[in-house]
Amino acid sequence: MISIKIGLIGTGVIAEYLLKEINEKSSYPIKIVAGVVRNKEKYKHLEDKYNIQITEDINRLLEKDIDLVVEAATVSTVKRYLPKVIKHKDCLIISVGAFSDEEFLKNIYTLAFENNHSIHLPSGAIGGLDLIQNAEVTSGLKTVKLTTRKPAHTFNEGSITTDKVIYQGSAAQAIEKYPKNINVAIILSLAGLGVTKTEVEIIASPFIKENEHTIEVSGEFGEMKTTIKNKPMPENTNTSYLAALSVLGAILRQTNKIKIGI
């Protein structure tokens, strides 16, 4: 018996990863039953391969018997579809960059509240978000800093021979300046102090091949410092494997009867 039916938006690396893990491998009572794509003919093979229904029309997806809509597309797709989707279904959003637009975030929050639906945001390529949210329950969080260290070529700094700090400032400005490289700053800001009070340092390094994210937090609870070194997905070196795992985990935990760390 399927207890959670999922509608999927997108056809990228994480979308197909979810289809493989959930529809082919998973023994959980969860299935992706439908999906929205831009070109049905191009992705028609997914219907037979994963036993799902494909449509190009978001309204057709929302008419189906699904419990959760999972977005695995782009920021522009979130901005286009989420205001409509949240009126009808709970959602899980991967492209959290859409929420760097504070006006959009405010509007979505209002729609979710008015329509009694939830938006789930997976932790992505970092961890420790439960601690940060707990520390801020009574406004006891004082500082949150993210230091992101990435291979130099990521920032077109392939000729450097030593680590180079290319940005220091707020998450708000970091997101604006490096929208494709600093998505972790968005989820970190949403969990804690917001984009204007979250500090970000970005380092281009000629010595590493994998992304590193160091999170430093202080508050009334004490202090935390943690570093995550991300390996890429084998299918796409531009996508963190941990980010894909965080999405899959967030979906599978929907059926857990024992909730941990919430």
Residues annotated as part of the active site? 213
Q: Letter for the amino acid at 236?
A: N
Which residues 6+ apart lie within 8 Å of 144 measured at CB?
Answer: 132, 188, 189, 192, 193, 197, 198, 199, 215, 216, 217
Collapse the DSSP code of 91 into the 3-class scheme (helix H, G, I; strand E, B; otherwise coil) and give the result.
strand
Collapse the DSSP code of 147 into the 3-class scheme (helix H, G, I; strand E, B; otherwise coil) and give the result.
strand
Residue-wise burial string across 126-164, b where 16 or more C-beta atoms lie within 10 A, e elsewhere? bebbebbeebbeeeebeebbbbbbbbbebbebeeeeeee
Question: Left, alpha or beta for 156 (phi > 0: left; psi -120 to 50: alpha)?
Answer: left
Which two three-digit tokens encode residue 105?
Answer: 């975030």
Task: Please say whether the beta carbons of 62 and 88 come within 8 A.
Answer: yes
Cα end-to-end distance, the chain, whole Å:
27
C-alpha pair distances (Å), 104 with each of 17, 96, 97, 98, 108: 28, 12, 11, 8, 6
